[in-house]
Amino acid sequence: MSTLTDANTTTASTAEPVHTQNGQVTATKPILTAEEIHKLLPHRYPFALVDRIVEYVPGERAVGIKNVTFNEPHFQGHFPGRPIMPGVLIVEAMAQVGGVVLSQLPDVEQGLFMFAGIDKVRFRRPVVPGDRLVMTVQLLCVKRRRFGKVQARAEVDGQRVCEGELMFSIVD
């Protein structure tokens, strides 16, 4: 498996920082591109929900971006005439950023991370086509090298969209 260091030798301390302007994330050099994320996570279209990682602190946190576009398949039925990104996909996108953090921990077993629990999730506003979803995931703990827990938060234009605690377990 590729590591974050293998995928891109830029570290969080030397990477171009996430720039905000009026609470909105502007263009920034990615730490990981979509292709590099695919080396770390098994998700593929239409379920690959992270376009880039723009900030990464090993063993602590990552910030990922999802550019929400009208041509995504779920918008055909959710909802006709008023496209809204399903909440479960927002949570899944946050989890994928968490997967990048967990898959890079040196003392954690290799394998497929799956949800073990979702707690305290709250949705604050809808996500619609044209939005740029910025997801920040903070590692809370790792137990027995097989279980992980993260605090996740998603924002659009500096406004909180969703937040919660996500638990993962490695399956063999």
Grouping H, G, I as helix, E, B as strand and the rest as coil, residue 141 is strand
Q: Is 78 a catalytic residue?
A: yes
**How many helices (H) and strands (E) are present in the chain, helices listed first?**
3, 8
Structure tokens at 117: 């629990």
Catalytic residue among 19, 38, 43, 78: 78
Contact in structure between 102 and 139 (CB atoms under 8 Å):
yes
* Strand ranges for the chain from DSSP E: 20-21, 24-25, 52-57, 61-67, 112-123, 132-143, 147-156, 159-171
C-alpha torsion 50→26→71→39, nearest 10: -20
Residues with catalytic function: 78
